[in-house]
Structure 1
Amino acid sequence: RGAELLGVPAEECLAFEDAPAGVEAALASGATTVVVGTLEADVTAGLPRIAGYDGLTVEPEGSGFRIRG
């Protein structure tokens, strides 16, 4: 819904989620999904993950962004 409100296709969004329902919703929307924290569930298998937001940076790169952390 957030992408829709911003007028951006969900497929062009990056979602950070820490709960199974959030991961499922983000994946269903078509957004690239990153798991935050230690969540282990079937729905998180194979997804990129980060420990938390500390030290995370997002930088413009070409037509997208590079995330470091």
Structure 2
Amino acid sequence: YYEGDLQNKGKQKGLINLVLMKVVREVEDKSLEDKDNVFQIVYSEKSDFSTMYVQASSNEERQAWLDAIRIGAQRIG
């Protein structure tokens, strides 16, 4: 993932390591700082769990991200 937005993509901020991922799911619209199209990724590093929240530009894009992440995680086992 990158800093910035779609028009002005900045430097790479990080990446999602699917091996460390524990949960990926939709966040109910308006429940996180009144935002829509959010999903969360829970992952573990060593013994700590962290949650990353990602906002897509539409519900369709959010669903595409969720599907892609889940498929990627299934492929690596």
TM-score over 0.5 (shorter chain): no
Normalising by structure 2, what TM-score?
0.24
Normalising by structure 1, report the TM-score: 0.25
Q: Which has the higher strand share?
A: 2
Give the structure with higher Rg (CA).
2
Higher RCO by CA contacts (8 Å cutoff, separation 6 or greater): 2
